[in-house]
Amino acid sequence: MVELVSVAAVADNGVIGDDGELPWPSIPADKRQYRDRIANDPVILGRRTFESMLDDLPGSSQIVLSRSVDSVEGDAARVAGDVDEAVGIAESLEADTAYVIGGGGIYELFQPHVDWMALSRVHGEYEGDTTYPVWDESDWELVESTEFDRFTLEEWVRLGDD
């Protein structure tokens, strides 16, 4: 069973994007840790997020969730129609972990299914049109919190049903 990890940069007010862009000035340390984390595993992302990253695709392969597209540009990219199909593709790649990297609708769709969250909590509130899904902290345990300049990296694990 592949482990699903949601990775996002989230402002204090929950905003993650504005018109397809990050709403805050670039944070190189966050971009570096994010790229390092997802470099060797498949990533699951929406079509618009995929298209915005075509010049520098993340992950070892991309699983693009889309209801309207049969194929996408990019040698490693595969198209999935829903959560189960995306997970099935990740398992067919013999991945131990797949990273869910956005956008907003994809985070929302996968939130009930992810095992971990790695959230870069960007200090400050920003204007934007896309937010990270609201989730119940009582279902999760904060297992690590690391302070950086301009953001705090939080790692959350979903609590079991035992």
pLDDT over 90 percentage in the chain:
81
- Three-class SS state of 18: strand
Per-residue pLDDT, 161: 61
* pLDDT (tens digit per residue) in 32-51: 999 999 999 999 999 889 98
Q: Quote the tokens at residue 95.
A: 């991945």
Enumerate long-range contacts of 62-69, CB under 8 Å, 24 or more apart: 63/89, 63/90, 63/98, 65/106, 65/109
Stated as kind and residue range, the H or E segment containing 11 is strand 3-11
Can you identify the CATH homologous superfamily of domain 3-158? Dihydrofolate Reductase, subunit A (3.40.430.10)
Please report the pLDDT score of residue 121 as a whole number: 98
